[in-house]
Amino acid sequence: MANEMTYRRLGSSGLKLSTVSLGGWTTYGQTVAEQDRVTRLIERAVELGVNYFDTADVYANGKCEEVMGPALAGAAPRHHLVVASKVFGKMSDDVNDRGLSRKHVLESVDRSLDRLGLDYLDIYFAHRYDPETTLEETVEAFSDVVRSGRTHYWGTSMWSAAQIAEAVTFAKANGLVAPVVEQAEYSMLRRERAENEVLPVTSAKGVGVVVFSPLAQGMLTGKYDGGVPAGSRFAEFESFKERFFSDENAARVRALKDVADDLGVTRGQLALAWILRNSNVTSVITGATRVEQLEENVGAAKLSLTDDVLARIDRALI
Ligand SMILES: NC(=O)c1ccc[n+]([C@@H]2O[C@H](COP(=O)([O-])OP(=O)(O)OC[C@H]3O[C@@H](n4cnc5c(N)ncnc54)[C@H](OP(=O)(O)O)[C@@H]3O)[C@@H](O)[C@H]2O)c1
């Protein structure tokens, strides 16, 4: 089934990512805590053609990196994989163990590499913008992480369009390494920020976009049509349920069923293909607690949607 996957360039960089990728937030080292379950999911993802795997130091307070590392090492040769981690969030009560200061960025990349058991990352993300560190200090620190060989590329996550543009301009003007990717939230249920703010600026700057929570944390699959199943994301995390589980969203997701049925696909596949209709999006980073979810989600990679279908989707989302 590896030929079901498609690959896209990350912005104007030469790096190619699978259009459907896999991340470990709230899952690996947490709701999916056992190493053998994580290993099985990552091995299956590689078999299905996924090459990009996403984690962060703060996911399960380091445990996500600790379980994804051995799983990745066993699943494929290192050159096959695109491994990303992130820095910004608070890792301890120490006043300097957070943010994007030069100290925290340079120390954190080594700790992430230790937990993952890797010699280098492919992408290192600034997980959020740090208003308590100057942009210049942050860009220089990430540039040095790249130049030291600990990561091949660096990127931003949930930075404003103006912050991304300023980082690229500052890096280029000063002979530093510029960010090549923004990791942004984007889904049928949360589209305004990505479509109106992020995508216009990133494409103009040659910065790639990878998308998180493309299924609105599972809401768009229809799994919550009849309420909240035991063990699901919304059963485990009340705050995420509050974010998406409303009568309006439930009606939208129900309305999408006819569109998906007419195409012979699932609503999850429709939701992922809808994001990938945008050629400036490189990859949708999905989450999966079960192999069947992964297999279903990868089925979106080659699905293209006609203008007629896109218009039907827009009507369903009103
Ligand atoms: N940069 C950031 O700030 C940031 C923020 C959030 C996420 N991320 C990244 O993006 C990744 C994905 O985020 P996400 O987990 O929210 O993505 P998502 O794909 O929108 O949601 C994934 C969850 O939906 C459910 N699901 C997935 N496929 C399904 C299917 N086919 N059928 C039924 N249920 C299905 C599973 O949850 P259950 O089985 O538990 O119900 C799964 O864990 C994260 O792992 C992380 O790497 C980054």
C-alpha of residue 214 to centroid of ligand 1, in Å: 7
C-alpha of residue 275 to centroid of ligand 1, in Å: 15
Q: Confirm whether 129 is a catalytic residue.
A: no
Answer whether 215 contacts ligand 1 (Cβ < 6 A): yes
107: amino acid identity, one letter: E
Is 147 exposed, middle or buried, given 0-12, 13-18 or 19+ CB atoms closer than 10 A? exposed
Give the separation between CA 308 and CA 242, rounded to whole angstroms: 32
CATH 3.20.20.100 fits 2-217+280-303, yes or no: yes
Q: What is the pLDDT along the chain (318 residues), one digit of tens a residue?
A: 446 899 999 999 999 999 999 999 999 999 999 999 999 999 999 999 999 999 999 999 999 999 999 999 999 999 999 999 999 999 999 999 999 999 999 999 999 999 999 999 999 999 999 999 999 999 999 999 999 999 999 999 999 999 999 999 999 999 999 999 999 999 999 999 999 999 999 999 999 999 999 999 999 999 999 999 999 999 999 999 999 999 999 999 999 999 999 999 999 999 999 999 999 999 999 999 999 999 999 999 999 999 999 999 999 999
Sequence ranges of the domains in the chain: 2-217+280-303
C-alpha of residue 305 to centroid of ligand 1, in Å: 22
Q: What is the pLDDT, as a whole number, of residue 4? A: 84
Determine the distance from the C-alpha atom of residue 165 to the mean position of all C-alpha atoms in its chain, rounded to a whole number: 20
Q: What is the pLDDT, as a whole number, of residue 3? A: 63
Give per-residue pLDDT as tens, 252-261: 999 999 999 9
Q: If you take atom 22 of ligand 1, which residue's CA is the nearest one?
A: 287
Q: What is the pLDDT, as a whole number, of residue 2? A: 46
Atom of ligand 1 nearest to the CA of 231: 40
Q: If you take atom 15 of ligand 1, which residue's CA is the nearest one?
A: 287
Q: What angle do CA 214, 130, 103 make, to 5 degrees?
A: 115
Q: What is the pLDDT, as a whole number, of residue 13? A: 97
Strands 7-9 and 16-18: antiparallel
Answer whether 19 contacts ligand 1 (Cβ < 6 A): no
Q: Tokens for 297, please give them.
A: 């989600």
Q: Write the DSSP string, 21-88.
A: EEE-TTTBTTTB--HHHHHHHHHHHHHTT--EEE--TTGGGGHHHHHHHHHHHHHS-GGG-EEEEEE-
Torsion of CA 148, 151, 152, 153, to 10 degrees: -110
Answer whether 158 contacts ligand 1 (Cβ < 6 A): yes
Query: In this structure, are residues 34 and 295 in contact, taking their beta carbons and an 8 Å threshold?
Result: no
Q: Tokens for 19, please give them.
A: 């259009």
Separation in Å, CA 11 to CA 103, 113, 153, 177:
29, 25, 12, 15
C-alpha of residue 102 to centroid of ligand 1, in Å: 31
